[in-house]
Amino acid sequence: MSHQEPEWIDTVSTAERRILNLRSIGMKHALTLGHLHYHRASAPLAEQCHEQWMVLVFLLSGQQRYVIDGEEIGLRGGQMLRIPPGCRYSTGAWPEQKGNLAWLILRVKPFPDEPALGMSRDGAHAVFELLTAGNTPAQLRMPDDAPRLIESAFTWWERRDEAVAREMVRNRIAALTMEAAIAVQPESAGEDQANDLRIRRVLAWLDGHSDDEMPTALEMAAMAGLSPTSFHEHFKRIAGSSPKDYRQRLRVERAARRLREQPALSITEVAHEFGYSSSQYFATVFRRYLGTSPQAYRDAAGHDV
């Protein structure tokens, strides 16, 4: 489903997600700040496209998969995703995963013709030029200060009837926007700490060897050059789950792809192919990670069994 500006923007909060309507405190170029903390997989994100707005996604923990203009992009805890105006985005056939993420929607077209986000006109132009550079989504390291700025914005929002609290929210949003713009610059990519890089190399290896037998946690620690204890600690921070849980999720996702791409295979055949003792146990694990049954997932993907 696609929505057109300026008539529609989601500002509905629920038990698992909160959305701040920044326009209600007089902001013109920052529209909403949202935060969700899903404790289980949820329904897939329907396709959206904004001609004037940019979406910045900050994955605080966990992992998510997005489909942007037909390309699947994986996002892990500690990463940021920039979705430029005009891009069609959704999670495709994938449900929104268990995890903790925030998003900021900015109006970047047209550029402001007056001071904006607490910056001068020229300053706002410089920040927006960095954010909109290039026509493809950018998957980047999340600014280190982003979690604190997001939490602070939500804390001050509770007192938004006070002028100083509204100013604090605006200040946090401006700082978050500037931090995101700086992260887009190529030179910022070299700021990863050594342990982060080691973990990300292991994750990249796992993603690139989908047909290989998955290594154990001890084998992954050896690949990273870390002790098992240190590896577990850094892995959980980056991936949002333990190595064991990540391996299980990856196995389920690979099985889900097989269900989608090979409709001639029965669910039992796919279950046995990926090492599950029965289709019943496969369905239990599948639902735990993807929030639906293998049969329902295959039906939603347009295949008849």
List domains and CATH numbers for the chain: 17-191 (2.60.120.10), 194-300 (1.10.10.60)
Q: Omega into 263 within 30° of 0, i.e. cis?
A: no
pLDDT value at 304 more than 80:
no
> What is the per-residue pLDDT across 108-159, written as a single tens digit (0 to 9) for each?
999 988 989 988 889 899 999 989 887 667 788 898 899 999 999 999 999 9
Residue 170 pLDDT: 95
User: Could you give the CA distance from residue 50 to residue 29 in angstroms, rounded to a whole number?
Assistant: 14
Residue 217 pLDDT: 84
Long-range contacts from 195-198, C-beta under 8 angstroms, 24+ separation: 195/226, 195/230, 195/234, 196/78, 196/141, 196/234, 196/238, 198/224, 198/225, 198/226, 198/234
Residue 135 pLDDT: 67
